[in-house]
């Protein structure tokens, strides 16, 4: 049971930001924080164009980072209080799932606009602009990302076959200044994220060569 001395639960989640104005468009909080977060960093090697020869002491750019996690969705608690959660009673988890799915594709309005432009004979149609997506995992990790993959397993249903329990899987690619540029809001957020990691690295306890069983290099 929560007490006045219990720590406030911080939820992880996703934030949609206008890429031009940096205005927050929508906040999506995870119902339950993921039990694990998998991060993979792949360094970019610098080498001669068209060859496999690498320059081992040079960086080509920032590492390519991917993040994956699973999140549980459950409408059971809401269904216990139907008067307070009419949407859950009528649709189960379908609205939450539809919202997450919308992160991976353009809207119907955008598709209609592109079709209209194509029908009018426009020779060049600009790619459809998506909001800037941020993964927020505590105050120290606000990271611009792109949704590379999303899957959902609907595991239980109400009598109308609305999903009431589901597991969502996210695959994210971190967007860097190489993708976003230094002058953009996303680029500034990535640089802040990188600097936070550097500050954490500086706090790691140093060790001597003797710890590794050698006296010199």
- The overall average pLDDT reported for the chain is 90
Quick check: 69 pLDDT over 80?
A: yes
Q: Is residue 32 within 8 Å of residue 128, measured between CB atoms? A: no
| Separation of alpha carbons 29 and 11, rounded Å | 6
Residue 69 sits at φ, ψ, to 5 deg, of -160, 165
Query: Higher-confidence residue: 124 or 78?
Result: 78
pLDDT score of 127: 76
pLDDT for 5: 62
The confidence score (pLDDT) of residue 20 equals: 85
How far is residue 135's CA from residue 12's CA, in Å, rounded to a whole number? 8
Residue 119 is predicted with a pLDDT of 85
The 10s digit of each residue's pLDDT in 144-159 is 999 999 999 999 999 9
C-alpha dihedral, 61 to 16 to 151 to 71, nearest 10°:
100
Q: Exposed (0-12), middle (13-18) or buried (19+): which is 31, by Cβ within 10 Å?
A: middle
Instruction: For the chain, list the strands marked E by DSSP.
Output: 13-17, 24-29, 37-42, 45-47, 54-59, 64-74, 132-136, 142-157, 163-174
Token output for 204: 């790691």
> pLDDT band at 110, cuts 50/70/90?
confident
Evaluate whether 133 touches 145 at the Cβ level (below 8 Å).
Answer: yes
Q: How far apart are CA 117 and CA 42, in angstroms?
A: 40
pLDDT per position as a tens digit, 26-37: 999 999 999 999
Report the range of poorest mean pLDDT among 12-21, 46-55, 76-85, 103-112: 46-55
Give the C-alpha separation, 5 to 28, whole Å. 27
Which residue, chain included where needed, has tokens 């307070």? Answer: 84
Whole-number pLDDT of residue 176: 96
Quote the percentage of the chain above a pLDDT of 90: 69
Of 160, 153, 136, 130, the C-alpha closest to 15 is 136
Q: Quick: pLDDT tens for 160-182.
A: 999 999 999 999 999 999 999 99
pLDDT tens readout for residues 8-55 = 689 999 999 998 888 999 999 999 999 999 999 998 877 655 555 667
Distance CA 150, CA 172 (A): 9
């Amino acid at each position: 049971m929560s007490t006045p001395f219990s720590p406030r639960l911080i939820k992880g989640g996703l934030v949609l930001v206008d890429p031009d104005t940096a205005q927050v468009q929508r906040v999506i909080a995870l119902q339950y924080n993921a039990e694990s977060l998998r991060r993979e960093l792949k360094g970019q090697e610098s080498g001669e164009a068209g060859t496999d020869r690498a320059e081992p002491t040079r960086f080509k750019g920032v590492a390519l980072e991917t993040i994956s996690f699973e999140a549980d969705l459950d409408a059971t608690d809401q269904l216990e209080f139907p008067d307070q959660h009419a949407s859950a009673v009528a649709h189960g988890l379908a609205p939450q799932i539809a919202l997450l799915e919308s992160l991976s594709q353009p809207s119907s309005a955008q598709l209609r606009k592109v079709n209209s432009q194509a029908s009018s004979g426009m020779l060049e149609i600009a790619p459809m602009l998506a909001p800037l997506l941020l993964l927020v995992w505590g105050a120290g990790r606000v990271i611009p990302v792109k949704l590379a993959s999303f899957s959902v397993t609907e595991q239980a249903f109400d009598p109308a076959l609305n999903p009431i329990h589901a597991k969502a899987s996210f695959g994210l690619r971190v967007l860097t200044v190489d993708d976003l540029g230094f002058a953009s809001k996303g680029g500034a957020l990535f640089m802040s994220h990188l600097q936070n990691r550097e500050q954490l690295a500086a706090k790691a306890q140093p060790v001597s060569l003797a710890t590794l069983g050698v006296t010199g290099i």
